[in-house]
Structure formats: C-alpha cells, structure tokens
Structure 1
C-alpha cells in the first residue's frame, strides 16, 4: 500500500507554504470583489468564498469541469499563457434571467448560450475578471485580464499541454437561493515569476530596503509625544473625608520629605525626581531611572 506522503514524480509540487498563503490572499480578495460585482449588477444578495487553492494538471482540470459550463478564456497582456474562469451553467442561466428582468433561480436549462445571452454574460464576466487586477496587487503583479472567448465545453479548449501544472482555485458562490462552485484556472508558468519573488522576500534577511524602513519606523516612534506625570505617594481617604473637605483644610500627603517623586507614563514608573523650579515654572530633576 503506498504511503500517504509518497512523492509523485509525475506531478512535482511547486508550491511552498509562502506561495499558498500569498495565493490565498489573492483569491480571498478576488472573491470579495466577485461577490460585490454580482450584487451590484444583479441587485440581489450574492456571496463568494474561497474553498481551496492548489496545484493540479491541465488535463485533470478539464476532466473535472461539468459539461456544459461557461468557460471564459482569459489572456494577460503582461504575462504568458491563458487562464480559464468557469461558472456552472445553471447559475449562468439564472444570471441571464435576472439580467432580462426575471426572478432567476428555479430550474434553469442546461445548454450552450445563444448569441444574445452570450453578449449579456460576456459584459458581466469581463467586469468580474477585471477584479483580478486589484487582487494581484498583493503579489506586486500588474495584470490586465481580458476575456478572449467564451466556451461551453472544456474538451474544445487547448490552452496548455495535458501535463502542464496549473493553479486551481475553487469558490463557493451564492446568488439569491442558487448555490454552486466556480473555478479559476491559471497556468503555473503564468504566475511563477511573481511567486518566485514571494519566496525571495520570505527567505531574504531584513536588509537593504527592509532595514531602512525599520529604522525609519523606529525614528518616528522616538518622535511620538508621551504624557508624563510626576506625583507624590497616593493618599487613601474615605468617602466621608472627601465630602467633608473644605477651603483651608490641610491634607497630609504622607510622602517623606527626603523621598523622590515618581515619574510615570501610562501608569508605568520610569524614573524618580526631586521637585524644584526653573525660572518662573515648577520643575523636577531626575535623580534615578
């Protein structure tokens, strides 16, 4: 029986923990923007959340896509390769129904889109994938995705060799009472330059620009104003004694004359000082820290 942690040389894992965390942030940002676009366009409460981010091969992805589906082929001017944004056809038909003034939901036909339906959906999908521009900013990656084509059968797409490693993100989406799973598939080679930078940032010690930024923060902290108090020992009184205080009463401080006063900030004692004056103002001289 093969070990559960056996290494598959046919599918070498190119992800590190840093890569997974970085891509999780990208996809969570995209999911929030995805839901916002659906809600504002369809005027119905919509939600989207990331369920998984991982590596697979292109042929395994194609085999997992339901037929028919809405498959938006994406291109990136700044990056090599093409990606795929997929939506289940029943959700898409519900979207078309809402865009045409219908209630959406219910039993929707499972078929390829007509020319009119394609025009309606294409504009919405283009708005959704444009949110990737904002999402990938966390990787210091500038992308401007475009919808090249809309397909309904993944078998007709030849975007990468079958064994090509791809990054597959899955999203749970809800539009009104409809719920389904959407996917975003991007070739690993497309994002590899940005992921390599992530690995370099996490493995490089804090030198250069990072250390300069740290010094600047430290210098700014030294310039932050802090309220300091100089006080005698605290005095405890009963409620009746406080209420009985009147002009001319003498309140013993019980602070020895030879004992320094306490210098404190935010309730924490930082030094001791003796009282005095400087010119026309009261002052104190720090005698110990």
Structure 2
C-alpha cells in the first residue's frame, strides 16, 4: 500500500529543502532516470492478462452456481455477481476488510490427492453473516426501510457457537461450488478447514505475499453486500499452464484414457426422449368442435405400415407396434437416414 507521510514528516522535508540539505535538481534527475526492477520469469508475482480472463470465466460460473445454491438454501431470491478481480498483497487484503469478520479457511487437493499450495479464504462480513443466520433460522426477507440488526451492534460482534455452526454449513456449500467451478480447468477437491473471526491474527501467509482478491456483489432481498475470495498466488503456480486459452481450445490435443472414461461415463448418464407416433389426421374446426368420447378418427397410416420412432424429436427408427409383458411395445425394424448425430 502507498505510504502516507505525517504532517511532522512533511514539515521536516520542507525545512530541509529550504535549508539546502536536499538538492531538488538531483531528485528531479533521479525521477527522470529509468528505473529497472528485477523480474523472475520463472516465478512471476502477477498473473498475465490471459490468465486473469480465464479466472473471469471461472468465477462467472461460480457466481451463477452460487446464486442457485444460496437461493434454494435460504428460500429467498439471491443474486451473486462478479464485481472485480484484483492482484494485491495479503496485507492489503487484511486491511480492506472489517476488523471483526468471518473467514472460512479452505484447502484444495488434485484428483490424485496431491495437495495444492496455499490456503483459500472466503470472507463473509458480519452484516451478511447475521442475515444468513436469520434466514436459516426461519426468518423472512426484511421489509424495505426496516433494519434487522443495527450496524453498531454488529461492529463489535462476537459470533456464538451456534451461529458459527450455521455459517459453517453455508461456507461448506460455497466450497463445493468453488470446487465445481474449476472442473473445466482442473479436477480438484476443496474442503473447509476452519473458521476465523479475527483477520488481524491470521498467520496463513506473509504480509507481502501476492494474492488474487475476487469480489462479488450479493443481493439478498433488499440487502446489498459483498463476498470476497482471497487466493494466494502460489495456488496458481502448479496449474498456470491450464489457465491458458490455448490449453482449452487446442484441437490437436488428444484425450487421455481417464478423460475418455469420464466422457463415456457422462454420456451413459445422458437422458434422451424416445417416442413412437401412430400417425396424424387433419380436420376442419367445425368437426373438431363436435368431437365426442367414442368418436373414431382415421389416421394417415395403414395398419400394416411401420410406425416412425423419434429420438429427441428426430425420426430415427421404423417400428412395429405390439405388446410385451402386458404393456404396449414396439419392435425396431429399420434405421432411418435422419441420424441425430448428423443434425
């Protein structure tokens, strides 16, 4: 963060310049001279623009999934939207959040159980915490202009064990969403380790450690607030190659055996509609209005003609009607040219 001089320090500088102790021309020359900072390309302290764009896609998915999960959990309309992604230091993050707030500490591991570096932190401010507890304990949406809990009462809030137990469930659900939002990049498992309410005492990383701070705007009824996710840069070091768009869309990249099995498993669980149509008929509106129970409608298909069978609305088979085990059934005869894979 930028250093701010006190009034006493400013007065000393002005006095030194007036007395000639500080050479202003020398300072101006030093400012004009190009400044070179060391940069380690093997371990950059900031993510590239391409990687940040990928994170935008990941956390857009997180916000959409969280909106559905929280709306169902709280039984009120909840809207979560990605507001910003910043690269700052851990110290800046700590000084940007309330003195007393709720922080969920998570760890993640790859599918092969290899631990990922760094602790992921979800910060939920006290106002949001109290609203979540109220709703999960049977409360209703706050009427416009009505305040449930005053800000003064929340400023020095000490969370009770019951409140922490309730909020732990909410953070565990958000942890699952966080895990699922990364599935297109990397398969991993995310688990909640602990809850902390005093960020000033957190010792999870050094103050100058670079982090990615993702901020979401959250709307719960008439209440607008924020949710923060702080991820240390070391978390991305092992998966930085997967954050590249080239890795996503490289058509020459072959699927691994595990990917093929996962794809096959997913396809096996896809549901499709399967229907057989007896035929159709056309009639005038006057005849339609006079239809009664017991009327016989002649269809455009002979009794000996095979029936068209549709898969997801596309004609796929010809079939013969019949009966099996007391139920209506069809026997597939021929495959039509309208293969759904060609559509």
Please classify the TM superposition score into its range, dividing by the shorter chain length: 0.5 to 0.7
1:90 is displaced (CA, Å) by 0.5
The aligned residue for residue 126 of structure 2 is 89
Counterpart-to-counterpart distance in 2, 1:7 and 1:153: 38
Q: How far does the alpha carbon of each residue in 1:76-118 deviate from its partner, in whole angstroms, 9 at most, with x for none?
A: 1331221100111111101101111122542424112100111
1:207 is displaced (CA, Å) by 4.7
Q: Secondary structure at the match of 2:47?
A: coil
- Within 5 Å, give how 1:161-200 maps onto structure 2: 161-199=206-244
1:60 is displaced (CA, Å) by 0.9
- Two-structure CA RMSD over aligned residues (Å): 2.8
- Within 5 Å, give how 1:72-83 maps onto structure 2: 72-78=104-110, 79-83=116-120
Matched, 1:126 2:172: yes
Aligned partners of 1:31 and 1:50 also within 8 Å: yes
Matched, 1:64 2:96: yes
Aligned partners of 1:66 and 1:88 also within 8 Å: yes
List 4+ stretches of structure 1 deviating above 4 A.
6-13, 202-208
Structure 2 CA distance for partners of 1:27 and 1:203, relative to 1, 3 Å: closer
Superposition TM-score, scaled by structure 1 size: 0.65
Q: Using the TM superposition, name which of 147-156 and 100-109 deviates more.
A: 100-109
Q: Secondary structure at the match of 1:77?
A: strand
Aligned partners of 1:132 and 1:143 also within 8 Å: no
The aligned residue for residue 82 of structure 2 is 50
Superposition TM-score, scaled by structure 2 size: 0.55
1:144 is displaced (CA, Å) by 1.5
Counterpart-to-counterpart distance in 1, 2:183 and 2:251: 22
State how many pairs are aligned.
207
Q: Secondary structure at the match of 1:34?
A: helix
Unpaired runs of 5+ residues, structure 1, are 211-289
